[in-house]
């Protein structure tokens, strides 16, 4: 049962046309494209039951984030006041987890076509959950 | 920028009247109580801007979960078919992250009174995010 530490194991990666942070919108709802979620073969059994049309929450790890940031200006707008990162969706935060509500567009073996999602190409995925109805 | 691995750092803990998994409902909406989210003093600056009445998503780490489980019967009901954990909310999964939509009832220094939440006493908290409007 469990492990002594809190080490995440990526279960897959995002394959996206968004190649850099400069290309990415701040939220999926702001014009983000669809992308592939490529699940490692060793976790493929955990996809059983996911169907086209399902609504999922994909949890990513923003591996390029700055984990030392505790306050920021929301939406990187200098007119906004300094705000605690727990009151924002900034990727810079102590544990840079990203929550992405997406729809499943297609399924090809271990790959899910999902979107819209603002995560850039290569972003590690650490969990997938159904949206609770 | 970043760290070489994906090691979570707990930023606080849940203090709840729920002392064991046997006491806990499966979802917060199923009669779970309110609880305290006690944030470590070193992360207190990241709370700035959170107010009573806010809706948050609290992300926990189910430190008692079995990370080797890839399929399960939803809601532990033997009548349900074996289903991939990514199509369920089972705490047993490769990265046992819990997503808890809660409201902020009160704020006392580094402690947030939140609820409803089914996480049991002592559960590590790894992130807090605002619900996007």
Distance CA A128, CA A34 (A): 16
Q: Which chain B residues are within 8 Å of A130, Cβ to Cβ? A: 87-89
Q: Quote the pTM value.
A: 0.94
The yes/no answer to whether this complex scores an ipTM above 0.95 is no
Tokens of A24: 């990415």
The predicted pLDDT at position B23 comes to: 85
The predicted pLDDT at position B24 comes to: 87
Helices (H) and strands (E) in chain A, counts: 0, 8
Secondary structure class of B133 (helix, strand, coil): coil
Given an 8 Å threshold on Cβ–Cβ distance, is B94 in contact with A46? Answer: yes
pLDDT, average across residues B63-71 = 95
The predicted pLDDT at position B3 comes to: 44
Given an 8 Å threshold on Cβ–Cβ distance, is A2 in contact with B65? Answer: yes
pLDDT over 90 percentage in chain B: 82
pLDDT, average across residues B53-69 = 96
Please name the residues in contact with A106: beta carbons below 8 A apart, sequence gap of 6 or more: A52, A112, A113
Of A21-35, A76-90, B35-49, B82-96, which gets the smallest average pLDDT? A21-35
Q: Which chain B residues are within 8 Å of A94, Cβ to Cβ? A: 9, 11, 43, 46, 126-127
Cβ pair B8, A6 in contact under 8 A: yes
Query: What mean pLDDT value characterizes chain A?
Result: 93
């Amino acid at each position: 049962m469990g492990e002594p530490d809190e080490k995440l194991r990526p279960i897959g990666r995002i394959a996206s046309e968004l190649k850099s942070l400069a290309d990415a919108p701040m939220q999926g709802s702001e014009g983000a494209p669809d992308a592939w979620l490529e699940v490692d073969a060793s976790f493929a059994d955990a996809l059983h039951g996911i169907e086209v049309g399902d609504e999922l929450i994909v949890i990513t790890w923003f591996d390029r984030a700055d984990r030392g940031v505790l306050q920021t200006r929301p939406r990187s707008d200098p007119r906004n006041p300094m705000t605690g990162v727990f009151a924002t969706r900034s990727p810079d935060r102590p544990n840079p987890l990203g929550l992405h509500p997406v729809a499943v567009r297609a399924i090809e073996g271990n790959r899910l076509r999902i979107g819209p999602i603002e995560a850039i190409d290569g972003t590690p995925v650490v969990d997938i959950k159904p949206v609770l109805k």
